[in-house]
Amino acid sequence: MRSFVFGFILLLIAACQSTTSVELQDRPLRVHVPKGFKPIKYPEDNEPTELRVLLGRHLFYDTRLSLDNTVSCGTCHVLSAAFTDGRKTSEGILKRIGKRNAPTLANVAWAPRFMMEGGVPTLEAQSLAPLHDTLEMGGDMMVAVAKLNRDEELRKLARAAYGRDSIDPFVITRALAAFQRTFITADSPYDRYKNGKTDELTEAQIRGMELFNSTKTMCFSCHSGPNFTDYAFYNIGLYEEYADEGRQRLTGEDSDNGRFKTPTLRNIELTAPYMHDGSVSSLEEVIQLYNEGGKRHRNKDARIKPLHLTEREQADLVAFMKALTDYNFVQNPALLPLK
Amino acid sequence: MKKIIRAVFYAFTAVALLAACKDNKKEDTTPAVTTATLKISYAAHWQGNPYVHPAVVEDNFGNQLRIDKFMSYVSKLSLIKEDGSEYLLKDYSLIDFLQSPTVEFKVPAGHYTGLKFLIGVPADVNTNTDPAPYPSDHVLSVAGSQGMFWTWATGYIFTKLEGKADTTASGQPLLYPFAYHTGDDHYSRYAHLQYDLQLQPGAQYHKTLIAHVDRIFSPVQGTSIDLSDIGGFHSPGPAMATFVNNFSNAFTLE
Shortest distance, CA B223 to any CA of chain A (angstroms) = 19
CA distance A43 to B141: 19
> Are A315 and A211 a contacting pair, CB within 8 Å?
no
Shortest distance, CA B65 to any CA of chain A (angstroms) = 25
Q: What confidence tier does B18 reach under pLDDT thresholds 50, 70, 90?
A: very low
A119, A141, A172: residue with CB nearest B152: A119
Q: Which residues contact A56 (CB under 8 A, 6 or more apart)?
A: A175, A176, A177, A178, A179, A180
Determine the pLDDT at residue B11.
Answer: 55
For strands B56-58 and B64-81, give the pairing: antiparallel
For strands B176-183 and B232-233, give the pairing: parallel
Candidates B142, B145, B157, B187: best to mutate against A (most CBs of A within 10 A) is: B142
Candidates A99, A137, A143, A250: best to mutate against B (most CBs of B within 10 A) is: A250
Beta strand ranges found along chain B (DSSP E): 35-46, 49-50, 56-58, 64-81, 86-96, 102-108, 110-119, 157-166, 176-183, 189-199, 204-212, 232-233, 251-253
Q: Could you give phi then psi for residue A133, rounded to 5 degrees?
A: -75, 125
Q: Give the residue-averaged pLDDT of A262-291.
A: 98
Q: What confidence tier does A3 reach under pLDDT thresholds 50, 70, 90?
A: very low
B130, B141, B147: residue with CB nearest A125: B130
Single pTM value for the model: 0.86
Determine the pLDDT at residue B238.
Answer: 93
CA distance A77 to A75: 6
Chain B residues in contact with A119 (beta carbon < 8 A): 150, 152-155
Q: Strand, coil or helix: what is B205? A: strand
Q: Give the residue-averaged pLDDT of B118-130.
A: 91
Does the pLDDT of residue A164 top 60, yes or no? yes
Q: Could you give phi then psi for residue A307, rounded to 5 degrees?
A: -100, -20
Q: Which residue of A has its CA nearest to B154?
A: A120
Chain A residues in contact with B234 (beta carbon < 8 A): 249
Q: Which residue of B has its CA nearest to A249?
A: B235
Determine the pLDDT at residue B5.
Answer: 56
Q: Is A203 on the interface with B (CB under 8 A)?
A: no
Chain A, residues 82-111, CB within 8 A of chain B, namely: none
B133, B236, B240: residue with CB nearest A170: B133
Residue that wins the pLDDT comparison between A195 and B11: A195
Q: What confidence tier does A15 reach under pLDDT thresholds 50, 70, 90?
A: very low
Does the pLDDT of residue A8 top 50, yes or no? no
A124, A131, A252: residue with CB nearest B130: A124
CB contact under 8 A, B151 and A168: no
CB contact under 8 A, A122 and B143: no
Helix (H) or strand (E) holding A15: helix A2-24
Q: What confidence tier does B2 reach under pLDDT thresholds 50, 70, 90?
A: low
Q: Give the residue-averaged pLDDT of A302-318.
A: 98
Q: Could you give phi then psi for residue A82, rounded to 5 degrees?
A: 55, 40
Does the pLDDT of residue A210 top 90, yes or no? yes
Determine the pLDDT at residue A19.
Answer: 42
Q: Give the residue-averaged pLDDT of A233-256.
A: 96
Q: Give the residue-averaged pLDDT of A18-37.
A: 77
Does the pLDDT of residue A9 top 50, yes or no? no
Candidates A99, A117, A131, A142: best to mutate against B (most CBs of B within 10 A) is: A142
* Structure confidence by residue, pLDDT tens digits, B147-172: 999 988 879 999 999 999 998 877 77
Q: Which residue of A has its CA nearest to B141?
A: A169
Q: Is B236 on the interface with A (CB under 8 A)?
A: yes
CB contact under 8 A, A124 and B132: yes
Start-to-end CA distance of chain A, whole Å, equals 34
**A44: which DSSP letter?**
G
**A14: which DSSP letter?**
H
State ipTM: 0.83
Q: What confidence tier does A2 reach under pLDDT thresholds 50, 70, 90?
A: very low
Give the count of alpha carbons within 13 A of B138, CB side only.
12
Shortest distance, CA A117 to any CA of chain B (angstroms) = 8
- Sign, Cα dihedral of A39, A40, A43, A45: negative
Does the pLDDT of residue A251 top 60, yes or no? yes
Determine the pLDDT at residue B33.
Answer: 80
Determine the pLDDT at residue B88.
Answer: 98
DSSP string, A110-141: G-SSBSTT--B--HHHHTHHHHH-TTTT-S-H
Give the number of beta-carbon pairs within 8 Å between A and B: 73
A120, A133, A169: residue with CB nearest B142: A169
